[in-house]
Chain A
């Protein structure tokens, strides 16, 4: 039973939401503010997130053990699983440039639409909790897209690609 996972993610999420509301943490906003007005206030959050995760993985690797960390040394250039499309490729025969293309298209879409919406998905959750109805509408589209992607787009794309 995964009771501990359930509880840990709930409590972890609570802490993240609390911290993010107090600090207006936004990973997209960091890049945007730095690009537009050279303001590094939010960017520092993203940088310290990266460094702290790196350090924590290193310490855990040396003490308890982290599977396949660092990834590049055990799996070379393969992406970490988690993308629904790449995980359909069970045989692992998809060429690397397709993985790269998916990552680049996805990344560009995230950046473009997040900045137009005014914040990364975390920031939108926080703004919705501050009573922002526009962010609540954003979340509605966000959740519907998860179902639509898995129910309709995934079968279609995999058919087109012949997977």
Chain B
């Protein structure tokens, strides 16, 4: 059977709710799945454990960290190897990407959610998360316009180059 994003979204959404209630991925509420917060919990927990610091983690991760991101990487590795899609490649300037990653994590911690948990919070009935999601959409639109503008600029430079020849 072919898996579509709609089916995957359906399964992940049900899991996010079930995990909180059945496996006590709680508190805080609506924390069943969050890529940014769960990464933060794991990284900070490891730093606290190894360097004896006291960086903030969610209450659920005080004793032992949530391992969602480790699972995501393992699951995606198994899937990409079994489909023969694993291949080392560089798609964009790594320094730029590291900067984007840095900024996304900072922004996600200001909002208290990555895009997935934002929607999970909306499903939990959090009005501020609705505003969070709306500004995510606004950010995407601005970013998409920047990408479009950038592509057009490249095109213009190419055209000019051809004319010169």
Residues of A within 8 A of B (CB): 1-6, 8-25, 27-28, 30-32, 35-36, 41-42, 44-57, 60, 64-73, 77-87, 99-100, 102-118, 120-122, 124-126, 128-151, 153-154
Contacts and interface: CB of A to CB of B under 8 A. Distances in A.
A138 B17 contact: no
B interface majority secondary structure: helix
Contact of B8 (A19, A107, A118, A145): A19
B139 to A, nearest CB: 2
Contacts of A47: 6, 9
Contacts, number: 480
A65 B17 CA distance: 11
Contacts of A120: 35, 114-116
Given A16-B75, A126-B76, A107 B17 contact: no
A122 B116 contact: yes
Interface in B100-115: 100-115
B143 A116 contact: yes
B71 A28 contact: no
Interface residues of B, number: 126
8 contacts: A2-B63, A12-B15, A12-B32, A13-B75, A50-B13, A108-B107, A108-B136, A134-B90
B136 A31 contact: yes
A137 to B, nearest CB: 4
